[in-house]
Amino acid sequence: MQSPNMLTKFESKSSRAKGIAFHPKRPWILVSLHSSTIQLWDYRMGTLIDRFEEHDGPVRGIDFHKTQPLFVSGGDDYRIKVWSHQSRRCLFTLTGHLDYVRTVFFHHELPWIISSSDDQTIKIWNWQNRSLICTMTGHNHYAMCAQFHPKEDLVVSASLDQSVRVWDISGLRKKHSAPTTMTFEEQIARSNPNQADMFGNTDAVVKFVLEGHDRGVNWVAFHPTLPLIVSAGDDRLVKLWRMSETKAWEVDTCRGHFQNVSACSFHPHQDLILSVGEDKTIRVWDLNKRTAVQSFKRENDRFWVIAAHPEINLFAAGHDNGVMVFKLERERPASAVYQNQLFYITKEKHVRSYDFSKNIESPSMLSLKKIGSPWLPPRTLSYNPAERAILVTSSADGGSYELVALPRDATGAIEPTDTKRGTGNSAVFVARNRFAVFTKSNQQIDIKDLANSTTKTIKPPPGTTDIYFGGTGCLLMITATSVVLYDIQQKKQLAELQVNGVKYVVWSNDGLHAALLSKHNVTIVTKSLQQISTLHETIRIKSATWDDAGVLLYSTLNHVKYTLMNGDNGIVCTLDQTVYLQRVKGRNLYCLDRYAKPRILAIDPTEYRFKLALVKRNYDEMLNIIKTSSLVGQSIISYLQKKGYPEIALQFVQDPQTRFELALECGNLDVAVEMAKELDRPKLWTRLSLEALAHGNHPVVEMTYQKLRSFDKLSFLYLVTGDKDKLRRMAKIAEHRGDTSSRFQNSLYLGDVQNRVELLKELDLYPLAYLTAKSNGLSEECESILEATGMTEDQIKLPPMGEPTSIPKPIVPTFTSPWPAKVTSTSAFETALLGPGEEDVVATNSEDLEDEPVELEEGDDEDAAGWDMGEVDVDTSEDFINVESAEAGAGSSEADLWTRNSPVAADHAAGGSFETAMQLLNRQVGAVNFSPLEDRFMEIYQASRTLLPASVGLSPLVNYVRRTVNETDSRKLLPTIPRDLEHITTVDLVAGKTQMRTNKLEDGVRTFKGILHDVMLNAVGTQSEVSEAKQLIHTAAQYTLAMSIELQRRSLTGTSTDLSSFSDETKKRALELSAYFTVPEMEPNHVTLALFAAMNLAHKNKQLSSALSFANSVIEKGTNAKFKESARKIKAICERNPNDTLEIEFDQFAEFDVCAASYTPIYNGSPSVACPYDGSKYHQKYKGTVCKVCEVAQIGAPASGLRLTV
Amino acid sequence: MDPFSADGELTTLHTYFHQCLYPAVLSYDLSPLSDSNKLPATILQLRAHLALNQYSEALSVCASNKGKVDFDAVAICARYMQAKDRGDGSSVTKASEEASALATKEGDNATVQILCGTVLAGTENEDEALELLSRHQGSLDAVALIIQIHLQQNRLDLAKKEAQSARKWAQDNLLVNIAESWVAMREGGEQYQSAYYVFEELAQAPATQSVKSLLSQAISEMHLGRLEESEAALKQAAELEPENELVKANQLVLLTLAGKRDEAAKAKPELEKSGFAQDLAEKKKEFQAACERYQPKFAA
């Protein structure tokens, strides 16, 4: 019997593992191997931390020290080694055993080590002074195992001599403990060592010898609290012993292993015994009944050792190929949250509740002791508030569920009386009185009612592993690679999302979002299973809960973290033990720990609230947070910077360097200058100068250049800003510095020729000086140079020279102030930060924040004004409130609500308010003739009411059918309208076009007029549907017109194409009508039909010119190959003599509409009126009459346009 | 206390009645019942007769028990229903007056409350009916009537309150479930679904299937927009009672909803006299009257 709840947490592959030790605090495990290696694993991360290889041959015994960074090992090299795992080396070796060392253990408080060896002795060592302090002899075969008692001065040992011995070592303790109070007898005893036995062994005496195994005993262990001993032997038995002060006796035997039992152990907290054996099994026994509880079998590996973690529910077993770390049971307490209440099952299997609003834990309400097997905690709990019932699942017996009603008041752990049960792996409530049960083995979901009878059966997608509530009437089905949303009612799959290994589903409080938790991933989805974000965690994710603001808090093994919808996440706090989050309220995080006790963690939600406010641009909230909490930290700053809010980050930073960086990033020069001054580093000045230059802020640039002593740049800056004084000063400075090239440059900038000549002369560059003087017309200077150099003017050859250039003067004194740069608008945030005194500024500056909503409102009002002509009282509020507050009397029916809630004519018709519906239509589309709409009105009216039979003798209850099925707000209720837009386009429009194709024109006209009437009284949801409807109206009107023209022609001449028997006038009219038939907009193949008919008629009646033009059109636009073929033939014929015998009023080249009443052309530019509903055109004289196409609207009437949406 | 409450002897009978299994009510053997329960059981059987429109049977039983308040109340109700079926206005008024008189005299009698309450509510004396019914002492039938009257008056809020308080003391009684579902059908949203569950449970269990439950299921499905499913349920109902007017009326609604104009047109005339048809006819007149306000001009 493979147990389903042995939960393997870690497995390693190695050679045979002989010894195992858990670190008491860290997630570490030491494994000693048959191959002489000792491994140190982190079983949580699954990584090998270290290896220790100094033993020679197999290492069998290993133990961590409880408090010191030490561990001890013993091996087949007869040695015991003590190691430091901090310095990662062997500290010293204890020698003395004469054969293999089997086990080594530290004492829980004294600096002692106990070892057992094949040399038949058990030795106790002091690891502080590294000495052997006691040798216990007595076993006459290998000593296989020896352990200290966890509290008393006892030792228990097991040997292949088939005995278990209990030793009293109180003497040893006395001898080695500090000489505090020593009784007289003790002093005697100490002074008389001679009274010891011949080996000097008074320190340890055999207290009991336990005989009962009839083969060698491999392992023995004390119970942590009770006077019990468990031993395991080659006789395949696990024996339980009890001892008193004076004697010890065998209690019972656990039979079941069919090979040597290698090791055994008591469960540290529960009444269980664990044993492992060479039969490749781990077995768990009930301590009180000594019956097998469960067992786990490995395919190929014999087990050699088992160890229990001293504190948490974790075990490790060593086998032929490595080590496995496992749990015996799930520690996740079954729980469910409903509004302010948490329901959970304690370790004693009691159902309790916890009230979040009062922080009160209820007494136990129910005992579920009898549910499932005694050693299996219930797996899940689902709560039904309507029935106050819970649904508990347990993995016992291949999965079972139990439906239990909770008592009204918690009065103690009573046994439930009326429970319903069944088999299944998962069970969840899906509605008030329905729950779903999933059975994995046959892949089936049963929907059951509260009486536990199946009402429906669903086949989930293959490979389904679990089910969760999926919103009302829906289920989420989890497979290994995906999640499927399934509607139970409609029995269909609504959505599917590929997510691997989802284990838990957590719904947000408003039911709009859900978090799918996998081992290492959190995926946030909407209620329709659209993925919003996903994140990965390296540490295992345990649980999650939603904040009311839409932030998901989740717990890993050691952290509580948060994630926003956009995937931004961070740490909320660290955990010292694993908890399962249930609810977050303010600063309290409610969770259940592994002992199923409710705990409240105080958390600081500032960070995620701040981020949320940032994402939502809720600056007030941010401001509030900044003011009320100390939100400073590198993470928030870098977060803000990364997210593009340097100006906000700036508010948090104290560090000048960071402030400088942020100030540059957001262009806040003032702050940057301030910080640069504080730091005063050339690099920063350089960067600041670049930034300031880009801003055009030259005073800052000037200052930075001064700081940097960039004289050349400074000079140039003064030049371009026109600051002559400063430029002159620069010239002086240059002179002072003796920088000639700079002096020259400055004199050039200043246009100071004299100075330049002087400079050149100083440098003995007389030719250049002369040239400069000469070209600027300084003749005196020229002469003095000539004089100085002793040359005459004739000796110098000069190139031809022009006029000396004059230096342009600055027109604008730019230097006085910087160019007016675009004012960097202080962010709403900054202005808000400035304080309440500046609130006006906030109001005006933060346009996009505060003005917008105002505008929106205005927009709404305008809209309302727009359909004010609807005049229909939209004053919902007054009457409405009345209804709610009135004590008695009748209320207004839903039909009345509809008319109040909607400006759509169809909704009024449905509400039975025909008068207002007509008024609406009259104003919207100029409707005046309503009799064609009678059926439509009645249809809408009668489709919106159902008659529900109720009490005998009373009339049935009228209920109102809504199109807003999910709405309960009475101000948003709207009636259903039969024959919606989709119905019309997919049924009627198609039918109408078919009638066109099949030449059933009378039916076609009726169909298209019907469409016009149906659309006029209709309602749609979206703007795109509105435009679709408009298009539909146009199409229907065009087809109606086209068909009516053709019908008119047929009424004149019938279907014959030969018109020779008719009068010229009739003939002319028939030909015209056939030509007009081609004008309205129709589908290309329908236009082709019209063109083809017109071509044939014209051709037959010798209207060759017209026929030619139709033939051309057919060839050009036609969609039918056959028609094109005949068109080409006709074209060929007509081209020979393109003349009409009869002049008709049809200009193939002119653009015109056809009047829908007279069927005559209305040429572009000539006066016309249109139907306000369908847009059909008419000659002026028809104004004021009813449109021939829709038969409802008045031609040329003022109209605001049909309204189809609310 | 209500003799029909969950632990009473009459639970089964009461449940039958509200599951509309009237034949089962009538064939229920009353002899093993305790004496105190015989009268309520008999009245329940009489009400079953009324539900089946077997007025004369009910009236003959009442006649032989003339003078006993309970039977008088049944008789008044029987006469009222008979008159209403025949369209006999004066008899209806008379029954209403009788009911009112009996209510003032014997208003604490549960049978009087329910039956006279029905008559009063049916003759537009809703406030009087409510006043009478509010004197009930733990009678679910009375609560159900109160809820229905509130709903007829479009007082969803009051109906809801009544249902909630009934749920508190009557827990999962069938009638409470049904009455709650009536409320739910007005409330809509997710409540439609809950109502559907209740109706479907009744309608789909072969033991409790009846025209009324099937019809209720179909109607809830209509409101949920599941027209095809609704059609199936209506069909089942029509097979059970092809001449049931309510079934026909709701079938017409469904056909219209589904946009099946031709079939709806065919179904309409079959509805001649029913209240629904009358309402439609009235609306038609109203429409024509409203048309009068416009004078369309037609081009020659």
Domains parsed from chain B with CATH numbers: 189-292 (1.25.40.10)
Same domain membership, residue A1101 and residue A960: no
B82 pLDDT more than 70: yes
Q: Which of A43-47, A1036-1040, B31-35 has the lowest mean pLDDT?
A: B31-35
| Alpha-carbon span A902 to A1026, nearest angstrom | 16
Name chain A contacts of B118, Cβ cutoff 8 Å. 951-954
With CB atoms and an 8 Å threshold, state whether A891 touches B154: yes
Q: Which two tokens stand for residue A283?
A: 């077995």
> In Å, how far is A895's CA from the nearest CA of chain B?
10
- Asked if the structure places residue A1107 within a domain, the reply is yes
**Closest Cβ opposite residue B280 in set A931, A938, A976:** A938
- Asked if the structure places residue A818 within a domain, the reply is no
pLDDT of A843 reads 36
Name chain A contacts of B246, Cβ cutoff 8 Å. 947, 949, 956
Inter-residue contact A426 to A454 (CB < 8 Å): no
A354 pLDDT more than 70: yes
Among chain A residues, CA nearest to B278: A942
Confidence of residue A233 (pLDDT cuts 50, 70, 90): very high
> In Å, how far is A955's CA from the nearest CA of chain B?
7
Same domain membership, residue A160 and residue A25: yes
**A227-260 b/e with 16+ CB inside 10 Å = b?**
ebbbbbbbbbbbbbbebeeeebebeeebebbeeb
| Alpha-carbon span A121 to A354, nearest angstrom | 57
Q: Which two tokens stand for residue A648?
A: 């906000």
Helix, strand or coil, per DSSP, at residue A373: coil
Q: Is B250 exposed, middle or buried (0-12, 13-18, 19+ CB in 10 A)?
A: buried
* C-alpha dist (Å) from residue A941 to A895, A937, A1193, B189, B282: 10, 6, 22, 21, 12
With CB atoms and an 8 Å threshold, state whether A968 touches B259: no
Which of B256, B263, B266, B293 to mutate to test binding with chain A, by most A CBs within 10 Å of its CB?
Answer: B256
Same domain membership, residue A1050 and residue A990: yes
Helix, strand or coil, per DSSP, at residue A239: strand
pLDDT of B8 reads 67
With CB atoms and an 8 Å threshold, state whether B284 touches A938: yes
Provide the domain count of chain A: 3
> In Å, how far is A390's CA from the nearest CA of chain B?
16
With CB atoms and an 8 Å threshold, state whether B256 touches A884: no
Name chain A contacts of B186, Cβ cutoff 8 Å. 894, 959
- Asked if the structure places residue A125 within a domain, the reply is yes
Same domain membership, residue A1140 and residue A1063: yes
> In Å, how far is A620's CA from the nearest CA of chain B?
36
| Alpha-carbon span A1019 to A979, nearest angstrom | 10
A966 in contact with B at a CB cutoff of 8 Å? Answer: yes
- The CATH code of the domain that includes A12 is 2.130.10.10
Q: Among A1045, A1027, A1058, which residue's Cα sits nearest to residue A1156?
A: A1045
Q: Among A552, A543, A475, which residue's Cα sits nearest to residue A508?
A: A552
Same domain membership, residue A994 and residue A903: no
Dump pLDDT digits (tens) for A1007-1061: 999 999 999 999 988 888 899 999 999 999 999 999 999 898 888 888 777 777 8
A1076 in contact with B at a CB cutoff of 8 Å? Answer: no
Same domain membership, residue A905 and residue A1016: no
* C-alpha dist (Å) from residue A867 to A899, A919, A1057: 14, 12, 52
Q: Is B106 exposed, middle or buried (0-12, 13-18, 19+ CB in 10 A)?
A: middle
> In Å, how far is B33's CA from the nearest CA of chain A?
25
Query: Angle, nearest 10°, between helix axes A711-721 and A698-708?
Result: 160
Name chain B contacts of A941, Cβ cutoff 8 Å. 280, 283
Same domain membership, residue A161 and residue A288: yes
Q: Is B27 exposed, middle or buried (0-12, 13-18, 19+ CB in 10 A)?
A: exposed
Q: Which of A487-491, A1186-1190, B44-48, B205-209 has the lowest mean pLDDT?
A: B205-209
State the pairing for strand pair A474-479/A482-487: antiparallel
Q: Tokens 């007030």 map to which residue?
A: A620
With CB atoms and an 8 Å threshold, state whether A953 touches B77: yes
With CB atoms and an 8 Å threshold, state whether A890 touches B126: yes
pLDDT of A117 reads 94
A560 phi and psi angles, rounded to 5 deg:
-105, 130
With CB atoms and an 8 Å threshold, state whether A951 touches B148: yes
Dump pLDDT digits (tens) for A189-214: 544 443 444 444 467 889 999 999 99
Same domain membership, residue A997 and residue A960: no
Q: Which of A587-596, A608-617, A1016-1025 has the lowest mean pLDDT?
A: A608-617
A650 pLDDT more than 80: no
With CB atoms and an 8 Å threshold, state whether A978 touches B198: no
Inter-residue contact A397 to A373 (CB < 8 Å): yes
A942 in contact with B at a CB cutoff of 8 Å? Answer: yes
Query: Which among A888-902, A1002-1016, B195-209 has the top mean pLDDT?
Result: A1002-1016
Inter-residue contact A1169 to A1195 (CB < 8 Å): yes
Dump pLDDT digits (tens) for A727-768: 888 888 888 888 888 888 888 888 888 888 888 888 888 888
Name chain B contacts of A951, Cβ cutoff 8 Å. 118, 144-145, 148
The domain boundary residue, chosen from A264, A295, A327: A327
Q: Can you list the positions of beta strands (E) in A876-1011?
A: 945-948, 957-960
> In Å, how far is A435's CA from the nearest CA of chain B?
12
> In Å, how far is B182's CA from the nearest CA of chain A?
8
| Alpha-carbon span A788 to A450, nearest angstrom | 124
pLDDT of A149 reads 94
Q: Is A889 exposed, middle or buried (0-12, 13-18, 19+ CB in 10 A)?
A: exposed
Q: Residues 449..468 of A with a Cβ closer than 8 Å to B: which? A: 449-450, 455
With CB atoms and an 8 Å threshold, state whether A978 touches B200: no
A822 pLDDT more than 60: no
Confidence of residue A278 (pLDDT cuts 50, 70, 90): very high
- Asked if the structure places residue A527 within a domain, the reply is no
With CB atoms and an 8 Å threshold, state whether B119 touches A947: no
| Alpha-carbon span A1029 to A984, nearest angstrom | 10
The residue range of the domain holding A1116 is 983-1182
Name chain B contacts of A979, Cβ cutoff 8 Å. 259, 261
Q: The dihedral of CA B268, B271, B275, B278: what is its sign? A: positive
Name chain B contacts of A1173, Cβ cutoff 8 Å. none
pLDDT of A830 reads 58
With CB atoms and an 8 Å threshold, state whether B156 touches A432: no
With CB atoms and an 8 Å threshold, state whether B193 touches A489: yes
**Closest Cβ opposite residue A962 in set B151, B188, B204:** B188
A991 in contact with B at a CB cutoff of 8 Å? Answer: no
Which of A884, A939, A952, A967 to mutate to test binding with chain B, by most B CBs within 10 Å of its CB?
Answer: A952
Inter-residue contact A71 to A64 (CB < 8 Å): yes
Inter-residue contact A215 to A234 (CB < 8 Å): yes
The domain boundary residue, chosen from A327, A355, A370: A327
Chain A with chain B: Cβ pairs closer than 8 A: 199
A409 in contact with B at a CB cutoff of 8 Å? Answer: no
Q: How many other CB atoms are there within 10 angstroms of residue A519's CB atom?
A: 13
A961 in contact with B at a CB cutoff of 8 Å? Answer: yes
Name chain A contacts of B77, Cβ cutoff 8 Å. 953
- Asked if the structure places residue A174 within a domain, the reply is no
Same domain membership, residue A1039 and residue A902: no
The domain boundary residue, chosen from A327, A352, A367: A327
Which of B55, B131, B257, B284 to mutate to test binding with chain A, by most A CBs within 10 Å of its CB?
Answer: B257
B190 pLDDT more than 80: yes
Q: Which of A553-562, A565-574, A803-812 has the lowest mean pLDDT?
A: A803-812
Higher pLDDT, A450 or A410: A450
**Closest Cβ opposite residue A953 in set B50, B212, B293:** B50
For the segment A1104-1129, the average pLDDT, to the nearest whole number, is: 86
A431 phi and psi angles, rounded to 5 deg:
-160, 175
Q: Is A419 exposed, middle or buried (0-12, 13-18, 19+ CB in 10 A)?
A: middle
Q: Containing H/E element for A326?
A: strand A322-327
Q: Can you state the percent helix, strand and coil of chain A, rounding each to 5?
A: 35, 30, 40
Name chain B contacts of A946, Cβ cutoff 8 Å. 219, 222-223, 250, 253
Same domain membership, residue A155 and residue A302: yes
With CB atoms and an 8 Å threshold, state whether B287 touches A937: yes
A881 in contact with B at a CB cutoff of 8 Å? Answer: no
pLDDT of A303 reads 94
Same domain membership, residue A1042 and residue A899: no
- Asked if the structure places residue A634 within a domain, the reply is no
> In Å, how far is B102's CA from the nearest CA of chain A?
18
Average pLDDT, chain B: 85
Dump pLDDT digits (tens) for A56-104: 999 999 999 999 999 999 999 999 999 999 888 999 999 999 999 999 9
**What count of residues does chain B have?**
300
Confidence of residue A853 (pLDDT cuts 50, 70, 90): very low
A497 in contact with B at a CB cutoff of 8 Å? Answer: no
Dump pLDDT digits (tens) for B119-136: 888 888 888 888 888 888
The share of chain A scoring above pLDDT 70, in percent, equals 90
A847 pLDDT more than 50: no
A1139 pLDDT more than 50: yes
Among chain A residues, CA nearest to B76: A953
- Asked if the structure places residue A720 within a domain, the reply is no
Same domain membership, residue A213 and residue A79: yes
- Asked if the structure places residue A1034 within a domain, the reply is yes
With CB atoms and an 8 Å threshold, state whether A961 touches B194: no
